[in-house]
Chains A and B, each alone.
Chain A
Amino acid sequence: MMKHLLYIDPGSGSMLFQLLVAGVVGFIAFVKMYWFKIKSFFSFKKKDESK
């Protein structure tokens, strides 16, 4: 059987914490993406007006 050796202490709590964090950072990435889209939409409009 293949053994997966661990020689560092992953830290009690760090494993479960990752699960929660993954949700939070996923949300942040989602918000950032939309924020970027909104920003680029308005900056495009601005450019148009200046013509």
Chain B
Amino acid sequence: MNQNNKSIEPSSFKDSAGFVYYQNGKVYRDVLNSFLLNYNAVKSKGIYNSLIENKFLFPFKELNENGNIRLESEKIALITYPYEWGFQQMKEGAIFQLELIEKCLNQGAMLKDASPFNIQFINGNPIFIDVLSIDEYVSDKPWQAYKQFCEMFLAPLLLSAYFPENWNKELQINLEGISLKKTAALLPLKARLSSLALIHIIWHSKFQMKGKGSGEVKMPKQKVLSILSHLKMGIKELKKYSPSKQWTNYQQQLPYTTDQFQLKSDTVKQWINKSYYKLVLDIGANHSLFVNHLQYRADDILVIDNDDAVVDSLFKEKKERVSALHVDISLPSPALGLLLNERKSFTERVRPDLTLALAVIHHLFHSRNIPMNRLAELFAEYSKELIIEFVSENDEQFQLIKNVNNKHPYNKNLFEEEFEKYFSIDKVVEVKSGKRFLYHMFTKTQ
């Protein structure tokens, strides 16, 4: 691949202030002439530097080439999207967004938009990546992105607070946010007792329907700050609707004796210790027992689970280099938006060089009826090196989750036969007599 190739980021078409492209492994933003005055005005107030110093803004370097302003920054290896975040991650993203606006306003700047796609998380901490969204503050101008904030941050948070399921997923269908009208219709009556939902969603949506003009409205900065403060206080108090208890206590009920678990743990660690990885994908990680060990063996560790409560608890641990996402490996995020390249698919963004799939294969087999040949194909897509635990049909956990209507064949021989079509099996260790086996394998194409 030619590293000098300039490739334009397809999602940066909306902003007419500049555009984003990649070259030589770095990210560049060309500031267009139409925004040059605004950019210089914000810069002259020292706002960019102050935001970078306070870890609000992802660092960048200005390159001035014959009067053309080009901003260079490092590439974030793992880009995540809000519809992959758990409730806690969205909540922290929303509070961060509000605090960033407060910070900007206090220094004479304002954000042009309020999109969670402009926030990424590094070591579990949010950071703003879209420097050209920061504009000069115009006195007495209302908050242009108020509605966008309510539809993209507040709506999924409130719905997740009042109903089961992770409503951030709704942003996958509605890339521009869950409309005020839809959110207001969905929210239960008791939501009207909360000033957060009543004001910013329900009344706000009614005002949209009346179609009041958006003409010249003057609004002092203090009033914008009071709205930001009300939103922030309300969001801080939000709690996820009765989190699922399905897997959160799984660690305490692990189907191993201490010795068996020790053997599993030692085997995995021994196999991991041989290399250093760029990206490790841990599928169905539950409490991700190997995260601590992996931290020093990889640049990035992505832990995915289809239980949002597990994802929230992992996210709260804020471990260095670890990202926890609410993704079901059998239903990964698709490519979305304009020309289907505005938002990239999970497969395109996540190219791990090691994949851990410990005791997940029987779940995929039973919950989604995925036959063995397709399971092998699935893991081949996501792995160069694979550490996978095979759970036999006579294992207690297998029997516990068994779907009697699933008539696909499932046994160790078939597992080996199908996986060997894509992988070379390097090692096998029996971790639970006749019931559980750890496999270390590498793709054949390597």
**Chain A residues near B (Cβ < 8 Å):** 2-19, 21-26, 28-29
> Given the complex, which residues of B lie within 8 Å of A17, measured CB to CB?
203-204, 207, 212
B144–A22 contact, CB under 8 A? no
For A4, A24, A25, the residue with the greatest tally of chain B CB atoms inside 10 Å of its CB is A25
- Chain A residues contacting B227 (CB-CB under 8 Å) are 18, 21-22, 25
Type the 1/0 row for B208-236, where 1 means its CB is closer than 8 Å to any CB of A.
Answer: 11111111010100011011011000000
In the complex, the answer to whether B214 meets A8 with C-beta atoms within 8 Å is no
> How far apart are A44's CB and chain B's nearest CB, in angstroms?
24
Asked whether A10 lies within 8 Å of B145 as measured between CB atoms, the reply is yes
Across the interface, name the chain A residue whose C-beta is closest to B204: A17
Which of chain B's residues has its CB closest to A2's CB? Answer: B37
Q: Determine the chain A residues whose CB is within 8 A of the CB of B226 once the complex forms.
A: 22, 25-26, 29
Chain B residues proximal to chain A, CB less than 8 Å = 14-17, 34-35, 37-38, 41, 112-113, 135-136, 138, 142-148, 195, 199-200, 203-204, 207-215, 217, 219, 223-224, 226-227, 229-230
The answer to whether A5 and B208 touch across the interface, beta carbons within 8 angstroms, is: no
**B223 contacts which of A3, A6, A8, A19 (Cβ < 8 Å)?**
A19
**Given A16-B212, A16-B213, A19-B223: A25 touches B229 (CB 8 Å cut-off):** yes
Closest 3 CB pairs of A and B: A22-B223, A11-B147, A25-B230
Q: With A and B bound together, what is the CA distance between A29 and B228 in angstroms?
A: 12
Inter-chain contact B229/A12, CB cutoff 8 Å: no
CB neighbours (8 Å) of A12 from chain B are 208, 211-214
Q: Are A28 and B230 in contact (CB under 8 A)?
A: yes
Q: With A17-B203, A21-B199 in contact, is A26–B146 under 8 Å at CB?
A: no
Judging by beta carbons under 8 Å apart, are A29 and B213 in contact?
Answer: no
B34, A5: Cβ atoms closer than 8 Å: yes
Cβ B113 vs Cβ A18 within 8 A: no
Known: A2-B38, A29-B230. A24 touches B213 (CB 8 A): no
Bound-state Cα–Cα, A26 to B16, Å:
35
* CA of A16 to CA of B213, assembled, Å: 8
Given the known inter-chain contacts A18-B142, A18-B219, A19-B142, please indicate yes or no for A8 contacting B212, CB distance below 8 A: no
Interfacial chain A residues near B145, Cβ < 8 Å: 8, 10
A44 to B217, CA, bound (A): 45
User: In the bound complex, do residue A10 and residue B223 qualify as a contact, i.e. CB atoms below 8 Å apart?
Assistant: no
Given the complex of chains A and B, what is the CA–CA distance between A26 and B135 in angstroms? Answer: 26
Give A29 to B231 CA distance when docked, in angstroms: 11
Q: State in angstroms the CA–CA spacing of A9 and B214 once bound together.
A: 10
Contacts of B224 in A (CB 8 A): 18, 22
With A3-B38, A18-B142, A22-B224 known as contacts, the answer to whether A28 contacts B195 (CB < 8 A) is yes
Given A4-B38, A22-B227, A29-B230, CB of A13 within 8 Å of CB of B144: no
* Complex-state Cα separation, A24 to B202, whole angstroms: 14
Q: Which residue of B lies closest to A17 (CB)?
A: B207
B207 / chain A contacts, CB cutoff of 8 Å: 13-14, 16-17
CB pair B219–A22 under 8 Å, yes or no, is: yes
Contact A8–B199 (Cβ < 8 Å): no
Contacts of B37 on A, CB cut-off 8 Å?
2-3
